[in-house]
Amino acid sequence: AGLMGMPPAGDDAARYARLAAQLGDEDFETREHAAAELRKIGAKALPAAIDAAARSNDLELRTRAAALIRALMPESAESKAS
């Protein structure tokens, strides 16, 4: 993972992007698992969620990414304030 305020390292960024893309997967369990994993990752997953929401036309992905972004934003703001 990257330093605070820095983008995640390549491997982590690729994993986060894959998980974010899975928010729009056809399989419900895959979508749920991806959302849970991204929530566990926390604020470091925000760039991937934002990018996925911005690039996708898939309503499910965009809705799940938006909910994730809203859930993670307070954590991100708090970590910057500390």
Distance, CA of 50 to CA of 65 (rounded, Å): 7
Enter the pTM of the model.
Answer: 0.77
| Closest C-alpha among 23, 32, 27, 26 to residue 61 | 23
pLDDT digits (tens, 9 = 90+) for 12-60: 999 999 999 999 999 999 999 999 999 999 999 999 999 999 999 999 9
